[in-house]
């Protein structure tokens, strides 16, 4: 019988734009209960439902997913909840997409603001792509943050967003009292122990009446520490049992860097970046091992090819950012590049490892739909790190 007793110290949240559940899992791993989970994509909804039905922790204790448009979701009965979290669709701001921003119908930041205004949570956490910080979206990113700081200063009917932005700026410069204290930070997931170079923006807010000073959690992993383990001490190769004949060549022009790392006090370094090899070395090669499919979702997918700018992820570095693609997985994306230069697609299970989902987590849909879910997901380990800091703050209040 599953333990359904709620912890006395458990925080409660609404998870919007849930996708495959990466951000939600990060919060659940910090003892946050999801009272509502909202997602429109039916395959992602099936993923969440299947894992809940199969008793996968902690999804088993989430509220049933609400499949539908968040614009139709009512927040009645959720007022004053601890948290509102979610990743508004990133395609309007993605470097790889059409980058139409606020002109894109998929821009759901207005709905994130509505949720904060109507729920008035103690805190919120929203995540999006690095493209949101590009110069062409500077004004709109400021607009998003100001709306979250003053969610009750709503746009008037038919008011253009730039006009509303000017009103918000004027309100703030004249000493308007903030409703939420907002912090925005661009982070690289690799610096938090994720085996992937994935840059994402987090927007975190605490309600002004309960706010205490808070800073974004510090980085825990670094490239320098990885280079030291690989090329100074050799601990990386020994730990992963890579014979000398199978190790790649030392990267060129590294003499000065390695001399500096050789003299560095190990106590001053962070933990090493985690690599693709770290993430998948215990899995059989799906192309060469006939029993590879005994591992759930670890099936070889043919058709991988390289082209300029899309050459796959080296085995001994964090992966390049996994992508969803406009129409499934574009050629050249989400691939492993072996030391001999050959490439193949990452399997679903390998992508899940790279996104730090647990092995028991199963994804619904075709290979293309599954890869889209994974390409859009927040790495669980990154979400867990951010959530841990936010939740620690809330539990002290």
CA distances from 15 to 49, 82, 204, 352 (A): 14, 12, 14, 20
The CA-based angle 101-357-371, given to 5 degrees, is 50
Residue reference for tokens 């000017």: 166
Spatial separation of the C-alpha atoms in residues 384 and 374, rounded to whole Å: 17
pLDDT value at residue 9: 76
Secondary structure class of 181 (helix, strand, coil): strand
For the chain, domains (ranges, CATH) are 11-219+378-395 (3.40.50.150), 221-376 (3.90.120)
300 Cβ contact list (under 8 Å, min separation 6): 286, 287, 292, 344, 345, 347
More confident residue, 321 or 94: 321
Arithmetic mean of pLDDT over the chain: 89
pLDDT value at residue 1: 33
187: closest CA among 132, 264, 258, 124? 132
For the entire predicted model, the pTM comes to 0.92
Lowest mean pLDDT among 40-54, 186-200, 317-331, 348-362: 317-331
CB distance 181 to 340 below 8 Å: no
Give the best-scoring range by mean pLDDT among 99-108, 262-271, 290-299, 302-311.
Answer: 262-271
The beta strands (E) that lie in 55-152 are given as 65-67, 83-86, 123-129
pLDDT value at residue 278: 98
Residue 310 carries which DSSP code? B
Question: Would you say residue 94 has pLDDT above 70?
Answer: no
What mean pLDDT is predicted for residues 90-94? 47
Secondary structure class of 59 (helix, strand, coil): helix
CB distance 77 to 56 below 8 Å: no
Can you read off the two tokens belonging to residue 354?
Answer: 């790279």
Question: Would you say residue 349 has pLDDT above 70?
Answer: yes
Dihedral of CA 369/372/373/374: which sign? positive
Peptide bond into 189 cis (omega under 30): no
320 Cβ contact list (under 8 Å, min separation 6): 196, 197, 312, 313
Residue 233 carries which DSSP code? S
């Amino acid at each position: 019988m599953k333990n359904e007793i709620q912890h006395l110290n458990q925080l409660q949240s609404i998870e919007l734009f849930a996708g495959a559940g990466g951000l939600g899992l990060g919060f659940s791993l910090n003892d946050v209960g999801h009272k509502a989970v909202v997602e429109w994509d039916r395959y992602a909804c099936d993923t969440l439902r299947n894992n809940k039905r199969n008793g996968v922790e902690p999804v088993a204790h989430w509220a049933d997913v609400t499949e539908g448009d968040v614009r139709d979701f009512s927040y009645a009965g959720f007022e004053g909840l601890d948290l509102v979290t979610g990743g508004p669709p990133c395609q309007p701001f993605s470097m790889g997409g059409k980058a139409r921003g606020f002109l894109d119908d998929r821009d759901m930041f207005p709905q994130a603001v509505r949720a904060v205004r109507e729920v008035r949570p103690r805190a919120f956490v929203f995540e999006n792509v690095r493209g949101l910080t590009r110069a062409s979206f500077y004004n709109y990113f400021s607009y998003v943050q100001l709306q979250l700081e003053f969610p009750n200063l709503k746009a008037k009917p038919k008011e253009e967003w730039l006009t509303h932005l000017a009103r918000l700026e004027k309100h703030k410069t004249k000493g308007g009292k903030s409703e939420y204290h907002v912090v925005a930070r661009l982070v690289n997931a690799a610096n938090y122990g994720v085996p992937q170079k994935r840059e994402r923006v987090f927007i975190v807010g605490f309600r002004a009446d309960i706010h205490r000073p808070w800073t974004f959690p510090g980085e825990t992993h670094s490239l320098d520490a990885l280079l030291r383990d690989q090329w100074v001490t050799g601990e990386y190769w020994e730990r992963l049992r890579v014979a000398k004949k199978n190790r790649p060549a030392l990267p060129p022009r590294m003499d000065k860097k390695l001399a500096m790392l050789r003299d560095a006090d190990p106590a001053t370094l962070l933990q090493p970046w985690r690599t693709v090899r770290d993430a998948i070395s215990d899995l059989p090669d799906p192309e060469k091992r006939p029993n590879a499919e005994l591992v759930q979702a670890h099936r070889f997918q043919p058709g991988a090819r390289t082209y300029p700018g899309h050459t796959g992820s080296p085995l001994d570095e964090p992966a390049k950012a996994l992508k969803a693609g406009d129409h499934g997985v574009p050629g050249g994306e989400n691939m492993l590049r072996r030391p001999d230069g050959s490439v193949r697609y990452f399997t679903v299970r390998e992508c899940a490892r790279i996104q730090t989902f647990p092995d028991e987590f199963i994804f619904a849909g075709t290979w293309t739909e599954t890869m889209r879910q994974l390409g859009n997901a927040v790495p669980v380990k990154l979400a867990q790190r951010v959530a841990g800091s936010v939740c620690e703050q809330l539990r002290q209040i």
